[in-house]
């Protein structure tokens, strides 16, 4: 009886407990109302738990209505909610401050940001996608300290990217781009911004040495978007707008042009060029309006589908980009697709494959400057009385006496386009035999075809100067087949709770193969579109072709160790063998070592935790290489030419490039010191770094010694001299939130100082850009080299006093109003020895400021970028201010130019002859301050969540490059380097002219998620 009573009491208690239980259901989402799968849901103080499903839903039984449920998920702040009798809970998790736990790509691996010992900067894809650009590196401008991005106008143009200045003088200066672990060369024009998950910039050699011979200009690692576990999600992003092309100059109308040219003629003792300028009043030919559109459209669209299960995730994107030219024809169009599949067969085996087909087409006239330079008096078309009815459609245009070819006619004749087709396949297989050991093999193959076609119709505008009496057609088809393969083994182990180690070893192989065939012909029966084929050519047919190949084999390793998350040490080693060198110099070693001390984790810093969230000191040293020179420079090449003998033209051959079997690697060695900090729970954070780097055994294409007996134009690749640079990178970031209002600011600041340390001989001089730049020991490379324009002669007294010690005039042909050139060396003569340094293309500072604000569903961001301390050569000065040519001039030049004592001390007098060589001597007249401040982007957006059937709908209005502050009077202050094909990438930097400007752009955006 006693036991029955006890059992009855127990049953009653259980019944009471059961009646007290509640089943709570609900959904967990992020602040954007996107469901979060896999969230841990646990009843606090118990072992009862569950997890959200693919749609973020959960169901859990709690003991009573006073229970508390805790929600946790990686990357989000934990949240505890009291049930308080509720049976339905809709939870919103906030993203955690992950500054120290973010994952950073370091080359063949990923690590936590807190474990990084080298100089690596990371930018998330969503930060890059705020701008609509064809090349994602333009979005990088001002966002990373130590990275200088110089924008490039024109459809399909690629910006110049410098990581901590230049590391070479004669070769390409662009960094290596690695996409999903595969080296992709020095251009990423093929990649849509909507495909990018993150970009990690390896700035110092201790970070980039793992890429060895490809890393001398720095490395940018790009991770593309992959599928995530959860329901299938669709996204659609669209931005569309217009680019505005404003005439950079106020050019003279017909009457003003006549007045200006008449003054130039009469100042030189000639009769007026165009008597009675009043007769041209109201008869100006508006070339600009006739040939240049005021705006051109730009579109960027992307459709994405992603999702998957624990066993298989996928991501598919289709991207379209189009930028029209300002001529009404041509532009740049790109279609890309990325299909990524990742499979997890078991806890040990996983694999993935990505397909990336893409198509590009581009081509546009490049003569927009001629619409300003051609005189405003010449009509666009020939008068009717000058036509005889036999002209074809390209011969009805008028000729200008300025010798500028009719730009409207040139656009009408334009037919010069390139089509590019590529398919890249990237696959990997990963195996984890035991805990901590990972084997991974990854391969990629890319097949590409590029077809360039050009047709030049026959026309006769002027029988003596502007004509092509026979039409011609050219076509070149280039095919490349490139492959890479890399295998790594990584073992990570923690022991004694405080020791953490990781060792990676591996090998890589790369091979790049290409071939081309080309054809040329003349005399196509007519200019119709259907006849523009090589087979239609009837005269002077010619063809040719070539093939090439180069390869690289490497062995890589990395050892990392940290003790108690306080002391970190990383060492890497890479050994590269390149087919571009002979056996004795084929292989080179590229080691690096770096370490950091996490001071904030020390016990003595415990009392400062409320202020100092993070404090680290970093130091690194490394060596990287450069083998970016043509194939087979260890072989001599024979050039072809022509030589007249009497009335005959004889084919000739000559040694054009001489072999150098001793050519070896160019190497860059650098050291880096940095401090990273975070204050007040990382509201204020940043880093400051100092670096020094030295380039040794620099690769140069030099003129072969004339005493050898070889022609003066014979060249040879050789290793010459060294160059040293240093500077400071600074990043300061502040982020805070007050209720529904959040705001942040990022400031980047960069300095670069460059100096040549040695050349092949003490007094060697390396000229560039038609001898207008000079590179010598103890100076920065490629500085502007010319005469000093020391104001203008204002009167005869000043002319008479500019003499040598014997009273002989230094400038005997000068008149009042001409430039006074300075006798720099004081030898009483004005000659080549008076040429000196008159400016530098290299900026002293580069600054970026990025602001963001948000209030509830409204957001605003503003990006600024500034370059300070560099000079630019404004080559347009000769076209716009020189009376010796018949091109059009800036409006009001007759009053701007010197026309009497005191009227000007900078713009020379108008002269038809220019006997003083005011404009033909390269002088400081052309050199201007190139500093500028530009508002790169301003964007206002508003987001709707769970409205209109979408998880998220965002509308935005943005403006790019709307405002620029600069003293530079040229077209565009963002001026890149010279032609890398001529070895003038560095030695020809800073020359501005009629370069295509970076255009102001206004866009509307739409972002959908469902």
Residue located via tokens 């087909």: 357
Alpha-carbon distance of 544 to 568, in angstroms, equals 57
Percentage of the chain lying above the pLDDT 70 cut: 93
Please report the pLDDT score of residue 258 as a whole number: 96
* Average pLDDT over every residue of 436-455: 95
Q: CB under 8 Å to 493, separation ≥6 — which residues?
A: 436, 500, 501, 502
Helix (H) or strand (E) holding 474: strand 472-495
Q: Which residue has the higher pLDDT, 651 or 313?
A: 313
Supply 913's token pair: 């002859």
First-residue to last-residue Cα distance in the chain: 66
Alpha-carbon distance of 49 to 807, in angstroms, equals 101
Structure pTM? 0.86
Yes or no: say if 389 and 380 are a contact pair by the CB < 8 Å rule. no
pLDDT one-digit tens code per residue, 219-263: 889 889 888 887 888 999 999 999 999 999 999 999 999 999 999
Instruction: To the nearest 10°, report the CA torsion of 385, 390, 392, 395.
Output: -40
Alpha-carbon distance of 522 to 540, in angstroms, equals 6
Burial zone of 533 (CB within 10 Å; 0-12 exposed, 13-18 middle, 19+ buried): middle
pLDDT one-digit tens code per residue, 117-129: 888 888 888 888 8
| Helix, strand, coil percent content, the chain, rounded in steps of 5 | 10, 50, 40
Supply 71's token pair: 């929600």
Which of 931, 970, 918 minimizes the C-alpha distance to 787? 918
Helix residue ranges per DSSP H, 774-832: 796-801
Yes or no: say if 474 and 533 are a contact pair by the CB < 8 Å rule. no
Alpha-carbon distance of 476 to 451, in angstroms, equals 6
Longest dimension (CA), the chain: 140
Q: Would the pLDDT of 512 be above 50?
A: yes
Supply 57's token pair: 């839903």
Which of 1005, 999, 856, 848 minimizes the C-alpha distance to 939? 1005
Which DSSP state fits 167? S
Which residues on neighbouring strands pair with residue 744, listed in sequence order?
735, 852
Please report the pLDDT score of residue 12 as a whole number: 42
Which of 252, 258, 273, 251 minimizes the C-alpha distance to 912? 273
Q: Are strands 437-456 and 416-431 parallel, antiparallel or unpaired?
A: antiparallel
Please report the pLDDT score of residue 9 as a whole number: 46
Which of 147, 146, 151 minimizes the C-alpha distance to 131? 151
Which DSSP state fits 995? P
Percentage of the chain lying above the pLDDT 90 cut: 57
Supply 410's token pair: 């040139």
CB atoms within 10 A of CB 237: 22
Supply 318's token pair: 């289709």
Extract the runs of DSSP E, i.e. beta strands, from 325-364.
331-344, 349-363
pLDDT one-digit tens code per residue, 702-732: 776 666 666 656 677 788 889 999 999 999 9
Which of 125, 201, 198, 136 minimizes the C-alpha distance to 163? 201
Supply 983's token pair: 């070895």
Alpha-carbon distance of 231 to 397, in angstroms, equals 63
Which DSSP state fits 309? -
Please report the pLDDT score of residue 1 as a whole number: 46
Residue located via tokens 């209030």: 855
Supply 16's token pair: 């009471």
CATH number for domain 19-93, candidates 3.10.110.10, 3.40.50.920, 2.60.40.4130, 1.10.287.110: 2.60.40.4130
C-alpha R_g of the chain: 34
Q: Which residue has the higher pLDDT, 628 or 883?
A: 883
Supply 735's token pair: 């982020």
Confidence of residue 10 (pLDDT cuts 50, 70, 90): very low
Yes or no: say if 629 and 171 are a contact pair by the CB < 8 Å rule. yes
Helix (H) or strand (E) holding 290: helix 287-291
pLDDT one-digit tens code per residue, 271-311: 999 999 999 999 999 999 999 999 999 999 999 999 888 89
* Average pLDDT over every residue of 187-192: 83
Whats the size of the chain, residue-wise? 1010
Least confident piece of the model among 191-200, 372-381, 554-563, 895-904? 191-200
Confidence of residue 332 (pLDDT cuts 50, 70, 90): very high
CB atoms within 10 A of CB 948: 8
Query: Where in the sequence of the chain do the CATH 2.60.40.4130 domains occur?
Result: 19-93
Please report the pLDDT score of residue 959 as a whole number: 94
Supply 189's token pair: 């024009």
Q: Would you list the DSSP string of 527-589? A: --GGG-SGGG--EEEEEEEEEEEEEEEEEEEEEEEEETTTEEEEEEEEEEEETTS-GGGSEEE
Q: Are strands 147-150 and 295-308 parallel, antiparallel or unpaired?
A: unpaired
Least confident piece of the model among 314-323, 526-535, 659-668, 812-821? 659-668
Residue located via tokens 């906030």: 94
Q: Collapsing DSSP states into helix, strand and coil, what is residue 981? A: helix
Confidence of residue 505 (pLDDT cuts 50, 70, 90): very high
SS3 of 220-276: the string is: EEEEECCCCCEEEEEEEEEEEEEEECCCCCCECCHHHHHHHHHHHHHHCCCCCCCCC
Q: How far are the Cα atoms of 766, 786, 834, 987, 1006 from residue 770, in angstroms, in the given order?
A: 11, 11, 17, 10, 49
Q: Collapsing DSSP states into helix, strand and coil, what is residue 152? A: coil
**821-828 LR contacts (CB < 8 Å, sep 24+):** 821/787, 821/788, 821/789, 821/790, 821/921, 821/923, 822/787, 822/788, 822/789, 822/790, 824/788, 828/803, 828/804
Q: How far are the Cα atoms of 136, 260, 263, 282 from residue 253, in angstroms, in the given order?
A: 41, 10, 15, 9
* Average pLDDT over every residue of 719-748: 91
pLDDT one-digit tens code per residue, 796-852: 999 999 998 888 899 999 999 999 999 999 888 999 999 999 999 999 999 999 999
Burial zone of 681 (CB within 10 Å; 0-12 exposed, 13-18 middle, 19+ buried): middle
Query: Where in the sequence of the chain do the CATH 2.170.130.10 domains occur?
Result: 103-227
SS3 of 536-547: the string is: HCCEEEEEEEEE
Q: Which residue has the higher pLDDT, 34 or 148?
A: 148
Which DSSP state fits 325? -
Q: In what order do the strands lie in the sheet with 783-786?
A: 766-768, 773-775, 783-786, 836-839
Which DSSP state fits 684? E
Residue located via tokens 């992020």: 30
CATH number attached to the domain at 103-227: 2.170.130.10
Q: Would the pLDDT of 18 be above 50?
A: no
Confidence of residue 5 (pLDDT cuts 50, 70, 90): very low
Q: How far are the Cα atoms of 804, 965, 969 from residue 828, in angstroms, in the given order?
A: 4, 42, 34
Instruction: To the nearest 10°, report the CA torsion of 770, 771, 775, 776.
Output: 160
Q: In what order do the strands lie in the sheet with 68-72?
A: 49-51, 40-43, 68-72, 79-82
Alpha-carbon distance of 654 to 638, in angstroms, equals 5
How far out from the chain centre does Cα 41 lie? 45
pLDDT one-digit tens code per residue, 918-961: 999 999 999 999 999 999 999 999 998 888 888 889 999 999 99
Q: Are strands 871-874 and 991-992 parallel, antiparallel or unpaired?
A: parallel
Which DSSP state fits 116? -
């Amino acid at each position: 009886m006693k036991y029955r009573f006890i059992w009855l009491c127990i049953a009653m208690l259980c019944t009471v407990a059961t009646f007290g239980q509640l089943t709570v259901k609900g959904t967990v989402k992020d602040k954007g109302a996107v469901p979060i799968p896999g969230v841990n849901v646990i009843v606090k103080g118990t072992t009862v738990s569950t997890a959200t499903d693919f749609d973020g839903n959960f169901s859990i039984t709690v003991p009573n209505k006073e229970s508390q449920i805790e929600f946790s998920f990686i990357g989000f702040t934990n949240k505890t909610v009291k049930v308080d009798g509720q049976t339905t809970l809709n939870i919103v998790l906030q993203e955690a401050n992950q500054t120290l736990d973010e994952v950073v790509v370091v080359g063949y691996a990923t690590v936590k940001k807190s474990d990084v010992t080298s100089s690596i900067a990371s930018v998330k894809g969503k930060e890059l996608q705020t701008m609509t650009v064809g090349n994602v590196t333009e979005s990088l401008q001002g966002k990373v300290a130590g990275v200088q991005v110089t924008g490039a106008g024109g459809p399909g143009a690629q910006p110049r990217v410098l990581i901590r200045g230049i590391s070479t003088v004669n070769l390409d200066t662009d960094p290596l781009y690695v996409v999903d672990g595969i080296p992709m060369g020095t251009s990423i024009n093929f990649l849509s911004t909507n495909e990018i998950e993150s970009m990690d910039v390896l700035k110092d050699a201790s970070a980039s040495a793992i890429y060895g011979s490809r890393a001398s200009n720095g490395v940018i690692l790009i991770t593309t978007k992959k599928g995530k576990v959860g329901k299938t999600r669709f996204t659609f992003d669209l931005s569309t707008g217009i680019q505005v092309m404003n005439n950079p100059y106020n050019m003279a109308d017909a009457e003003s042009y006549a007045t200006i040219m008449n003054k130039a003629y009469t100042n030189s003792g000639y009769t007026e060029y165009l008597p009675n300028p009043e007769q041209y009043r109201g008869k100006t030919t508006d070339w600009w309006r006739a040939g240049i559109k005021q705006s051109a459209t730009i579109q960027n669209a992307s459709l994405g589908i992603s999702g998957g299960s624990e066993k298989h995730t996928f991501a598919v994107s289709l991207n379209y980009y189009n930028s029209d030219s300002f001529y009404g024809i041509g532009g740049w169009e790109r279609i890309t697709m990325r299909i990524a599949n990742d499979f997890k067969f078991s806890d040990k085996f996983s694999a993935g494959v990505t397909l990336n087909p893409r198509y590009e087409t581009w081509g546009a006239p490049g003569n927009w400057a001629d619409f300003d330079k051609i005189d405003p008096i010449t009509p666009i078309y020939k008068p009717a009385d000058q036509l005889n009815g036999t002209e074809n459609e390209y011969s009805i245009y008028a000729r200008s006496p300025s010798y500028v070819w009719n730009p409207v006619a040139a656009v009408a004749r334009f037919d010069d386009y390139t089509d590019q087709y590529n398919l890249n396949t990237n696959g990997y297989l990963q195996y984890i035999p035991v805990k901590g050991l990972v084997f991974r093999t990854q391969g990629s193959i890319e097949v590409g075809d590029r077809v360039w076609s050009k047709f030049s119709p026959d026309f006769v505008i002027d029988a003596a100067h502007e004509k092509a009496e026979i039409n011609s057609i050219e076509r070149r088809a280039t095919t490349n087949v490139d492959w890479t393969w890399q295998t790594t083994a990584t073992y990570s182990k923690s022991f004694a709770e405080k020791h953490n180690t990781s060792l990676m070893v591996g090998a890589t192989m790369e091979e790049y193969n290409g071939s081309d065939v080309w054809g040329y012909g003349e005399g196509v029966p007519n200019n119709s579109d259907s006849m523009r084929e090589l087979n239609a050519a009837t005269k002077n047919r010619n063809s040719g072709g070539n093939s090439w190949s180069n390869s690289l084999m490497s062995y890589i390793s990395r050892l990392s160790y940290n003790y108690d998350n306080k002391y970190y040490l990383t060492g890497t080693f890479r050994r590269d063998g390149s087919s571009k060198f002979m056996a004795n110099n084929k292989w080179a070693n590229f080691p690096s070592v770096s370490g950091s001390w996490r001071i904030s984790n020390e016990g003595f810093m415990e009392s400062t935790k409320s202020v100092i969230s993070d404090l680290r000191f970093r130091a690194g040293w490394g060596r990287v290489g450069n083998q970016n020179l043509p194939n087979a420079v260890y072989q001599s090449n024979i050039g072809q030419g022509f030589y007249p003998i009497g009335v005959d033209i004889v084919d000739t051959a000559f040694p054009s490039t001489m072999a150098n079997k001793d050519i070896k690697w160019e190497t860059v060695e650098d050291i880096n010191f940095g401090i990273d900090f975070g204050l007040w729970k990382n509201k204020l954070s940043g880093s400051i770094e100092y670096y020094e780097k030295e380039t040794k055994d620099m690769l140069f294409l030099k003129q072969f010694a004339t005493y050898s007996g070889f022609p003066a134009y014979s060249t040879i690749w050789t290793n010459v001299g060294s160059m040293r640079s240093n500077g400071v990178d600074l990043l300061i970031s502040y982020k805070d939130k007050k209720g529904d209002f959040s705001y942040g600011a990022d400031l980047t600041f960069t300095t670069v100082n460059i100096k040549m340390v040695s050349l092949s001989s003490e007094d060697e001089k390396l000229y560039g850009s038609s001898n207008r730049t000079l590179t010598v020991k103890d100076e920065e490379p490629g500085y502007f080299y010319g005469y000093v324009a020391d104001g203008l002669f204002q009167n005869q007294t000043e002319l008479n006093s500019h003499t040598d010690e014997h009273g002989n005039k230094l400038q005997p042909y000068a008149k009042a109003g001409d430039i006074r050139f300075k006798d720099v060396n004081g030898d009483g003569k004005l000659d080549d020895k008076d040429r000196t340094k008159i400016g530098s293309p290299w900026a002293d500072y580069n600054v970026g400021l990025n602001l963001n604000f948000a209030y509830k569903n409204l957001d605003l961001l503003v990006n600024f970028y500034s370059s300070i301390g560099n000079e630019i050569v404004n080559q347009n000065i000769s076209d716009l201010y020189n009376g010796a040519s018949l091109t059009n001039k800036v409006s009001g030049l007759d009053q701007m130019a010197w026309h009497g004592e005191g009227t000007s001390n900078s713009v020379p007098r108008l002269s038809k002859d220019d006997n003083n060589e005011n404009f033909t001597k390269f002088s400081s007249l052309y050199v201007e301050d190139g500093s500028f401040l530009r508002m790169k982007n301003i964007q206002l957006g508003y987001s709707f969540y769970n409205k209109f059937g979408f998880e998220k709908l965002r509308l935005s209005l943005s403006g790019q490059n709307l405002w620029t502050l600069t003293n530079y009077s040229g077209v565009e202050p963002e001026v890149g380097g010279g032609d890398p094909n001529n070895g003038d990438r560095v030695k020809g930097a800073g020359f501005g002219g009629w370069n295509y400007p970076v255009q102001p752009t206004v866009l509307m955006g739409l972002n959908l998620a469902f």
